[in-house]
Chain A
Amino acid sequence: MTSPTKAEGPGSAVALDPEVASTAETDKGKELVGRSPGQLMWIRFKRDRVGVISACVVVFFFVVGLLAPVISKLYGKDPYTVFADERPDLFDSAGVPLQPNGGISGDFWFGLEPGNGYDVFTKLLYGIRNSLGISVAVTIATVLTGVLLGVMAGYMGGKVDFAVSRVVDFLLAFPAQLFFIASMPVVVSLFVDPKDETPVYVRVVALIAVQWVLGWMSLARILRGTALSLAGREFIEAARVSGASPWRIIRKEVLPNVVTPILVQSTYMLPAFVTAEAGLSFLGVGLVEPTPDWGQMFSKASTELVMQNDITYMFFPGISMIIFIVAFNLLGDSVRDAFDPKTAR
């Protein structure tokens, strides 16, 4: 169906005074432009200065992570070189960099790591790269699972709903962090013999799997509620009456209506996964040396060697993570506000 007013719109503005005519024209034009909810959201988001700035910061981190190999090639070092062996003149007998402020110099922009003497700048770049990569993978996996199970439970109802809801309740009662660290060795042992050295990719897969299993429930619960309320609406009923298959209804009618909670929730979930992954590596059950990792840098920073001598090293992973998490949380708030202006902060 086409609306007659829209068709008439531009032609009807005829006036003698050109100025009045042009303003009337633009006013009318503004009113009549049809915008999709996505476009509206984008326009609202662009107006939110905090949101735009934090989006830039977040994008910066992802670009840094993606380009880590390029940047470190230009910079001329890699995170695996043990400078304590290569350039022993830079360290004292305990392994602390001799120069002040953690050995920051023109050669080593962020200084050197006390102990092994890795280059902090490249280590941080690669650490961000690895941590973000794992967290993005976990987010994608949990969002897909949450959408699938949540929408299915909400739309189908009945036994499916009951089963999914009970599983969600049950998994939410798990002590999550404890489960993460406890199941890491078990999951790793599924792939490799405990006597062998664990390859890095196995650790990565185990980290993703463990966080995925206990990460999807909150999103599934929210989407179940949304899908449940949608299932009773007229347009869904109309689709059903006109003979659409359940799969088509979920894909074409339900899913476009749950995009908002999915986007908002995933912007909140990703930073949570980043800190959880970093926490695991901090505890020594995530990625281990020499694989660079954001969280593992913290465990190095909490050794007596660093705390007693020069704490400069501590600030690089610390400050960068705070900036990332704050920016991402602000971005989450802005995305939520842009989608739904009613829920003001």
Chain B
Amino acid sequence: MATEAGRAPLAAPYRISLRSRFYGLGSIYAKTMRDSRLAFIVAAGLMGGIMLVVSVAITKAYPTAESRVELASLATSLGAASGIAGKAVNVGTMGGYVQWKYGSFFLLIAAIWSIMALSGTLASEARGGSLEFVAASPFGKRRIALEKVTAHLTAMTLTVVIVGFAAWLAGAAFATLPGDAIPVQAAVGYALWLGLVALFFGGLAFALAQFFGRAVGAGVAGFALFAGWILQGYAATVPAFTPFALLTPCAWTADHLPLAGQYNWPSLVPTAIATAALLAIGVEAFARRDVGAQQAVRTPRLPRPLRGLRGPIGRSIGERLPMTLAWSLGLGIFTLAMAAISKSLADDVAKSPDLLKTFGQIFPSFNITTAGGFLQLMIQLEYIAVGFAAATLVSGWASDETSGRLEMILSTPLARPRWAILSGLGVYVAIVVMTAIMAVCVGLGAAAAGSDALTPMAGTIALGLYAAALAGVGFAVGGWKTSIAAEVVALVVVMTYLIDLLSPALSLPDWFHQLALTSHLGQPMVGHWDAGGVVACLVLAAAGLAVGGWGMRRRDVGL
């Protein structure tokens, strides 16, 4: 008897309720939007808010036409030394100043978000096991990946629309001089550039994650982002950087400065094509590979002695080591490049009285006629990076509890405070390793440039101290609730940066500026140490760990 496999009988029509749709339970797309709502609020709020604040700041700091002219001439005279700030075009206008000083900063925020979201959207579901349920529903794998990518594209689009709107609004509401208004075309051009370039790096992470796993995908894309940004910034100074800089959209779109009134729309086309191609590769690779396989290509394992099987400190180090090495590599290359070019840039500045005057006015507390002084100026940016490194290390420390394995660990003869302190010490060891690698890199760069290597190598310790202090804050919070420890550290990093950045620009009281720990760290790259800051870092690190251990002793585990 022949059996015919026909279509399944049609079920009664099912309508997804309005409530389900509203709460993001109506589709994979909606659920992904729901899951990314916090990240969207943070990214859009942060960038939109900063756009408004810095726009107001320029009108207060440079209120007259004369001061704007002076600002523009100073910025233009920087030339190649402008570095990662990019080309100085129409800096005397509100839009031109924001584009020059903060344009790339917005890109870093948007791109890091895109990298984290797109590298993790499928991997985190696979790790949690929910991907199998989704894949078993009546959707093909290609559609699942497409809906998830589309959700991120939607969130990114909304974010850049908010940033563009904030730029237009700033021009409309706070313009004080002719040329301050930011036309709709400029706002759209900036939003489009921001979204496309950020999605390029997110797409790179997404495509690589399908083959090598989330960590490698995110790591390589993050490295490409920072490398592209730095190499493009200094390509004019160091011509050897140019071929590498040309590999990323940072170089392709270098002439597209819409807030400054300079447009290069065709430069966005290759970025859009490359982004679409990377996303398509990621979708197709996911559709073709096994569900649940988090990486198609095996990455090498750590040598056995480094896996940390002897106890909590070793285990903590072993778990954190891949992340530590990834951060060390990225930060090390940055410090090496900065150290290598700082002497030639310092010499250029020293030879030009105009340039010297310019820098002196913008950065009055830095002696940039020396390699160390210039390096110190560059290294200020690295405080943000090591802060985020500390946040990721704290996140790893917290994962013992947030992932559920702490229950088994604490069923052994290991007291809770002991676990908190020993595994926290493992994080400090990871920070020491990271700092040591950065120190070696900065030493190599300085030596290659023929300048003093030992002083900046010792100065790198300040970065490690700052990271340790932040980790201490994370441990203290973790003693109360590990699930938010890393988020609090990241928030402290952002707040510290904003306080340090905006206090002078907005003429805020000195005590407010002093709230930023980075304002107490002196200029260690030239050997000027602030003992108060060093002590504050050490106290935060030690007390944070102790408070974390004390908190763990008092509360329930795993709740």
A, B co-complexed: no
Residues of A within 8 A of B (CB): none
Residues of B within 8 A of A (CB): none
